[in-house]
Amino acid sequence: MATPVTLVKGIIKEFLKESNIQDSVNVPVQMTRDEFEGEVTIASFPLAKIFKKSPPEVASAIKEFIESKYGDKIKKIEVKGGFVNISFSDSFWLEFIKTLVDSDEYPIFPQKSETVVIEFSSPNTNKPQHLGHVRNNVLGWATAMLLQRTGTKKVIKVNLINDRGIHISKSMLAWLKWGNGVTPEKAGKKGDHLIGDFYVMFEKEYKKQVEELMNKGMTKEEAMEKAPLMQEARELLRRWEAGDPEVLKIWRMLNDWVLKGFDETYKRLGIEFDHIDYESETYKLGKEIVQEGLEKGIFYQKEDGSVWVDLTDVGLDHKLLLRSDGTSVYITQDLGTIELRWNRYKMDLMIYVVAEEQEYHFKVLQAILKKLGRPYADRIYHLSYAMVDLPTGKMKSREGTVIDADDLLDELHLLAYEKINESPKTASLSEEEKHDLAEKIALGAIKFYMLRVDPKKRILFRKEEALDFEGYTGPFIQYTHARIVSLWEKAQDKPSSIDFHYDFNKSERQLLKLMAFYGEILQEATRKYDPSALTNFLYRLAKEFNRYYANTPIVKETNDFARSARLLLSKSIQKILMDGSTVLGIPLPERM
């Protein structure tokens, strides 16, 4: 289906071809500003130098060309300075919305042959996922869906479970010391929550030991290194890497508890992965790569046996690759993981959705891969995102001041359920239906809130604001969708033909203008890896529709042609809301 924007872009190419101008010239096609009449605007300024004419003269030439060849699709066209503002004919818009309603997908994008691997989530198995993980999960999912929606042939969603390392040893040691054999079943808790409690327990006791040693004259750095709990945790990690059967048995048991808890959280969030890797496996390949670099003289070894790489020639620092006791660090497993993925996928791009505090880490990773001569060194992209704060301050896992994802969803579910119970519109729903609706609203609230902000900006999360049915929120989009579903269901005679004339009014043309640029918005959000462009569009479209709905009769319209046109317009808006929300992972209920 030719959209208004693709039609105009085609017209420009034809105009340039007939003017013997290379069509590589970028002529901007924009949404007409609200203060002017029209839906699509052509900016002629890039052509002024080429034609050696003023922008208004070039704009006038474009206007004449369009009128001579596409007059049947145009209602009005006017030149304002160097801009050409186009108002499409009512018959064109009727055809557009009818085709949109009947289409399985709008817009359709040409398929790109690239393979993109996107890693997101990547939780540690020493604690449950929290609010920060929610932002990571929904951002990774939405970015993957945007790439897929706009034509990338193969998008592979992967997760790297960080199931080894000193942080895992801490929670494991705490369970051994103070757990008394407790299990999730005995405690009545999800496994990830139970192990998270022991991680917090370790940190509290460790902090006490550090303070005691500092009181005896040690510096903070010395005390942190010499504290008995840290010494024990490091020994546990050494035994783990050495393959101690007793340690591995306990590690597997605790990890299984946590992974089962993660699966429940992912299922609730609607998150799925095409492949899951485990750091406990990929770090081994990473150690082999470190050995390779050492043998080639790319890395160097200190007297204590630790292995390093010198990156000062590229403006970075010396980076530790293996500790003196032979245990690996984060960068070790990242070297192994990307090698594994290259062998598996031969990807054109590897996107890492990781918090902004790891920007240096990915610069180091890329620099090391370049020194090793890896062909995928320049195919890395770090999709950095900022932290999520609470009104009470910054979250800290070690101090147990985070909001767990499960607890947050439970709370949002309860708040949504209370709103549903208070509404006469949902009074006839059964308890099961009310809870199902509450869960959809809770998911819409948290996902939209996490995605409505540029990933690089911090979020101050307020649950009451996220659940506002009339604000810049997911529930507002959901409510608008349910309203249109209700309209369509109430219509006794569904429009089945467009063989009639209808003059679209100003508010309807405003909606049509927005719909015309939906494809451009999807492409912009994909290009910038920023779903907030899409959330903003959906909110604006929903807001405009609700304003239109409040002032215009639709089902009750007595004129058959007007009622049919307005129902088709409403239905086409519903389809766009559904498509965009599907990309964002937001469920849209049919009743609210």
> What DSSP string runs through 409-474?
HHHHHHHHHHHHHH-GGGTTS-HHHHHHHHHHHHHHHHHHHHHSS-TTS-EE--HHHHT-TTSSSH
- DSSP, res 382: E
Among 94, 95, 88, residue whose Cα is nearest residue 70: 88
pLDDT at 170: 97
Distance from C-alpha of 421 to C-alpha of 426, rounded to nearest angstrom = 7
pTM for the predicted model, two decimal places: 0.93
Identity of the amino acid at 552: T
Does the pLDDT of residue 78 top 80, yes or no?
A: yes
Q: How confident is the model at residue 550 (pLDDT cuts 50, 70, 90)?
A: very high
Q: How confident is the model at residue 23 (pLDDT cuts 50, 70, 90)?
A: low
Does the pLDDT of residue 402 top 80, yes or no?
A: no
pLDDT average, residue stretch 334-347: 98
Q: How confident is the model at residue 395 (pLDDT cuts 50, 70, 90)?
A: very low
Express each pLDDT in 113-142 by its tens digit. 999 999 999 999 999 999 999 999 999 999
pLDDT at 484: 97
Distance from C-alpha of 181 to C-alpha of 135, rounded to nearest angstrom = 34
Lookup result for tokens 């959280």 = 265
What Å distances lie between residue 8 and 24, 525, 546, CA to CA?
A: 15, 21, 29
Maximum Cα–Cα distance across the chain: 91
Express each pLDDT in 229-272 by its tens digit. 999 999 999 999 999 999 999 999 999 999 999 999 999 999 99
pLDDT at 495: 79
Does the pLDDT of residue 397 top 70, yes or no?
A: no
Percent of residues, the chain, with pLDDT higher than 90: 92
> Which domains are present in the chain?
4-88 (3.30.1360.70), 120-399 (3.40.50.620), 440-584 (1.10.730.10)
Contact call for residues 110 and 151 (beta carbons, < 8 A) = yes
Arithmetic mean of pLDDT over the chain: 94
Express each pLDDT in 408-426 by its tens digit. 999 999 999 999 999 998 9
pLDDT at 11: 95
Express each pLDDT in 148-168 by its tens digit. 999 999 999 999 999 999 999
Rg of the chain over Cα atoms, rounded to whole angstroms, equals 29
Percent of residues, the chain, with pLDDT higher than 70: 97
Does the pLDDT of residue 400 top 80, yes or no?
A: no
Does the pLDDT of residue 485 top 80, yes or no?
A: yes
